Structure 1
Amino acid sequence: MKATAGLPTTSRTAPLRIAAFRRFVLADLISATGSAMAPLALAYSVIEQGGGAGSLALVLATNTVPTIVLLLVGGVLADRLSRSRILFLGNLLAAVAQGALAVTVATGHASTTSIAACGFVSGAAVAFTVPAIQGAVSQIVPAEHLQQANALLRLPSNAVKVLGPVIGGLVVAVSGPAWALAWDALTFAVAALLLLGLRLDAPLAAVGSALSELRAGWTGFWSRTWLWTYTAAGTVLVAAWLAGFQLLGPLVAARHYAGARDWGLVQAAFASGLLAGTLVCLRWRPRRLLTVAIAGAAALALPLAAMGQGLALPAVMIATLLAGIGLDVAIVAWTTAFQQHVPQAELGRMSAFNNVGERLAIPLGYLITALATRTWDDRTVLTACAGLIAAASVLNLCVPDVYRINRADRPREGRLPGGRPQESERENEQA
């Protein structure tokens, strides 16, 4: 976009001078305030209608499955259609789903089936918006400002993660889950209107069928060794982290620490680490982006190892704080590397392939952990999860192609108005 011309490369807030990026950040912030409350409201919606762990598991599964199944379709569309239009429709669909859920809960007509159905629609909306997000940012912001843009996007959302669950808990406790769900629906609707105003051009003229574009996307994904090896390592890492921290963490806190109080402190340390990591990314501009992403994510092994070895709560909190810092640095570094080294015309499909692998890790990690805890105690499994994260990170760092994915601070050539890349750009940026 023309608004990006003449920005100083050293300014940490340079992307905010771009009107379209300010609109994008505002939409993300508004949506984040609702999303931070939604999980708690959803859980209590199930509980209020008499559901237990089985019902909640069903609701969560119906939200996750359509995302995994439809992600590749969303990736193809993100490379063929206007990404701003996709983001508008995806947020609008999520608003409708959450609005319908809020109404059924408020009127007392909610059931496990109706809640799961609304979750299914919301999961489908995610499948179409996720592949479009990274491509939209790189259409709006020039290459030399992408790290700052990615950090600025995470700054308000990480801040909301610290306060959102607390506020959501108060809303649910005082007024019931319906109001929190209604707020989530409203934030999706407002975000949809803001994103519609971006009016980004389609990144790629459709030259073949969707299936042929998907096959070409797989070829491009597999040809980038750094991309598929990072995705494979990330699948292991995400499975181990979620299984260890989200599943076993509360159980270990209940059995070996002071229960919910101490676990709340650990969660607060992690959220604070995420926020601190964002601030680090606003100041630090590492050259070896992919190396930093892999090393930063490896810090997730620290709190799992600390709890697995039975360390005192302060040590666990410090380890968790460092894990949050490392994770956020890793996310910003990875996103920047991905946006700079994948051509605009392929960003949607490459993002979809990457996300499919990491989202498959969620049910896989929970299933394997459930089986493992039948044989070993919780602390042993936690230590094993920490070992898996460390091993996956070390193996990923052994891939030579990783060290070729470094910062590219020069503006991309051949960008058409509205962010559409010319053919020369797609040819020259093949990684």
Structure 2
Amino acid sequence: MRTAAETSTTPRAPLRVAAFRRFVSASLISATGSAMAPLALAYSVIEQGGGAGSLGLVLSTSTVPTIVFLIAGGLFADRVSRSRLLFLGNLLAAGAQGTLAVTVATGHATTASIAACGFVSGTAASFTVPAAQGAVAQIVPAEQLQQANALLRLPGNAVRVLGPAVGGIVVAESGAAWALAWDACTFAVAAVLLLGLRLDAPVGATAGVLADLRAGWTGFWSRTWLWTYTAAGTVLVAAWLAGFQLLGPLVAARHYAGARDWGLVQAAFASGLLAGTLVCLRWRPYRLLTVAIAASGALALPLAALAWDRPLALVLPAALLAGIGLDVAIVAWTTAFQQHVPPAEQGRMSAFNGVGERLAIPLGYLVTALAARAWDDQGVLWACAGLIGAAAALNLCVPQAYRVNRLTGDERLEATG
């Protein structure tokens, strides 16, 4: 029987669980390295004489494995101990980043070697992401899942605000190798912390890999709310990346004060993510999935403001609201997923969902490149904002979405039993 302290739903209640404190510590430590890694990776390519083509190759080789191997990662996450899988994945990433740091420091880095290390890191991520999704539900009591998910987002969002600036200083003063070495060390420390969780393997039928894969796909497709959210998310993420990440800096350079103003927009968005996490620590909505869908529609706001050529004073609050909406959506969605998907299936369900959203990355950039030939930047931004709004609105038309709500104790047993 749990004590009152263990079943409390106060914002910090999950931190009373020792295993969760270990999990959060691993997340915080890893986040400090991951915040520096993109900048260090870019400059490691530049330092060895590479240009845009080389950087594109490196980025693609780190992204492709997360799509190709994610399903395998989901299968393993439902068959073996998730703490052991997290340990091995972080250890593999530590080895890849450590090797990269050494080659960059010694002047032996090439585009091929950097891409190879990125491929290994991406492969490691494809196994750790599904395992982490299910691990939280094993560690924390069901009534504390939302607070736990918010607390897990808190370190990454806090580091997101300061990390790039600190990473820039480290790279500028000491070189990319030191930032990469720090990233490797954080992965290694996180690996040790995660191994100490000692989570049991999920309890479920494991007739064989192919049988588990077929059962996973059947379970995914039978949950209309799950595959429709994934489909809408693919469109939404593609439109967001195309409009904000790709066109945003270009529009800032042509219509605003360039990098300075775009940096402020990025900072406003990151601050919104942090504020959204704080909202989720206090607000416990009943309709989890509909809140997630509606909140994700806020991503259209800064794209519309940029397309409408609004002053920076209006773009900044739009970016702030988009960040709040995105983080509320992520926490609400994750909580709904953990409550409505049986623990023995969460690895595979998370993998199928993740593949859809990761396919949005190349899709969004490709469609934008084609659309830019026919429309100007403002036209493409309006299209991206419209797609985000349409994806959210259509997803709200799915009747099953209104039945994926916060569960009581008896309902949880029925849903996951």
- Quickly name the TM-score band, shorter chain normalised: over 0.9
* C-alpha distance in 1 between matches for 2:338 and 2:188: 27
Return the offset for 1:409. 3.9
Name the SS for the 1:37 alignment partner: helix
* C-alpha distance in 2 between matches for 1:300 and 1:4: 41
Q: Which amino acid aligns with 2:178?
A: W
Task: Tell me if 1:257 matches 2:256.
Answer: yes
Task: Tell me if 1:145 matches 2:131.
Answer: no
On the 8 A contact 1:58/1:116 being kept in 2, the answer is: yes
Q: Which amino acid aligns with 1:44?
A: Y
2:165 maps to which residue? 166
* C-alpha distance in 1 between matches for 2:234 and 2:416: 24
1:221 maps to which residue? 220
On the 8 A contact 1:144/1:411 being kept in 2, the answer is: no
Return the offset for 1:207. 2.7
* C-alpha distance in 2 between matches for 1:396 and 1:61: 30
* C-alpha distance in 2 between matches for 1:299 and 1:378: 20
1:286 maps to which residue? 285
Aligned runs of 1:14-413 on 2, under 5 Å? 14-205=13-204, 207-410=206-409
CA shift in 2, pair 1:26/1:368, >3 Å = same
Give CA-to-partner distance per residue, 1:293-315, whole Å, 9 cap, x none.
Answer: 00111000000000001000010
Return the offset for 1:408. 1.3
Q: Which amino acid aligns with 1:138?
A: A
Give CA-to-partner distance per residue, 1:14-71, whole Å, 9 cap, x none.
Answer: 1000000000000000000000000000000111111111111100110011110000
**Structure 1: 5+ residue runs without aligned partners?**
414-424
Name the SS for the 1:301 alignment partner: helix
Return the offset for 1:8. 4.1
Name the SS for the 2:254 alignment partner: helix
Name the SS for the 2:409 alignment partner: coil
* C-alpha distance in 2 between matches for 1:327 and 1:207: 36
Give CA-to-partner distance per residue, 1:241-289, whole Å, 9 cap, x none.
Answer: 0010000000000011000000000000000000000000011000000
* C-alpha distance in 2 between matches for 1:169 and 1:138: 36
Q: Which amino acid aligns with 2:260?
A: R
Q: Which amino acid aligns with 2:44?
A: S
CA shift in 2, pair 1:260/1:3, >3 Å = farther
On the 8 A contact 2:70/2:351 being kept in 1, the answer is: yes
* C-alpha distance in 2 between matches for 1:17 and 1:6: 8
Q: Which amino acid aligns with 1:116?
A: A
* C-alpha distance in 1 between matches for 2:290 and 2:349: 19
Name the SS for the 1:273 alignment partner: helix
* C-alpha distance in 2 between matches for 1:99 and 1:305: 42
1:417 maps to which residue? none
CA shift in 2, pair 1:395/1:99, >3 Å = same
Name the SS for the 2:231 alignment partner: helix
CA shift in 2, pair 1:4/1:167, >3 Å = farther
**Structure 2: 5+ residue runs without aligned partners?**
none
Name the SS for the 1:203 alignment partner: coil
Return the offset for 1:7. 2.2
Return the offset for 1:205. 4.7
Name the SS for the 2:241 alignment partner: helix
Of all paired residues, the percent bearing the same amino acid is 78
Return the offset for 1:87. 0.3
TM-score normalised per structure 1: 0.95
* C-alpha distance in 2 between matches for 1:261 and 1:83: 43
Task: Tell me if 1:429 matches 2:415.
Answer: yes
* C-alpha distance in 2 between matches for 1:159 and 1:386: 27
* C-alpha distance in 1 between matches for 2:113 and 2:3: 46
Q: Which amino acid aligns with 1:290?
A: L
Return the offset for 1:134. 1.2
Name the SS for the 2:285 alignment partner: coil
* C-alpha distance in 2 between matches for 1:375 and 1:52: 27
* C-alpha distance in 1 between matches for 2:329 and 2:292: 4
1:420 maps to which residue? none
* C-alpha distance in 1 between matches for 2:410 and 2:22: 22
TM-score normalised per structure 2: 0.98
* C-alpha distance in 1 between matches for 2:389 and 2:59: 29
* C-alpha distance in 2 between matches for 1:36 and 1:4: 38
RMSD of aligned alpha carbons: 1.4
* C-alpha distance in 2 between matches for 1:186 and 1:139: 27
On the 8 A contact 1:142/1:412 being kept in 2, the answer is: no
Return the offset for 1:142. 1.0
CA shift in 2, pair 1:195/1:254, >3 Å = same
Greater shift, 108-117 or 197-206, is seen at: 197-206
Name the SS for the 1:310 alignment partner: coil
Return the offset for 1:154. 0.7
Name the SS for the 1:41 alignment partner: helix
Moved >4 Å (runs of 4+): 2-6
How many residue pairs get matched?
417
Return the offset for 1:430. 5.3
1:421 maps to which residue? none
CA shift in 2, pair 1:4/1:258, >3 Å = farther
Return the offset for 1:156. 1.3
* C-alpha distance in 2 between matches for 1:79 and 1:208: 12
Q: Which amino acid aligns with 1:365?
A: G
* C-alpha distance in 1 between matches for 2:264 and 2:213: 45
Greater shift, 263-272 or 3-12, is seen at: 3-12
On the 8 A contact 1:84/1:199 being kept in 2, the answer is: yes
Q: Which amino acid aligns with 1:13?
A: R
* C-alpha distance in 2 between matches for 1:150 and 1:429: 20
* C-alpha distance in 2 between matches for 1:29 and 1:158: 10
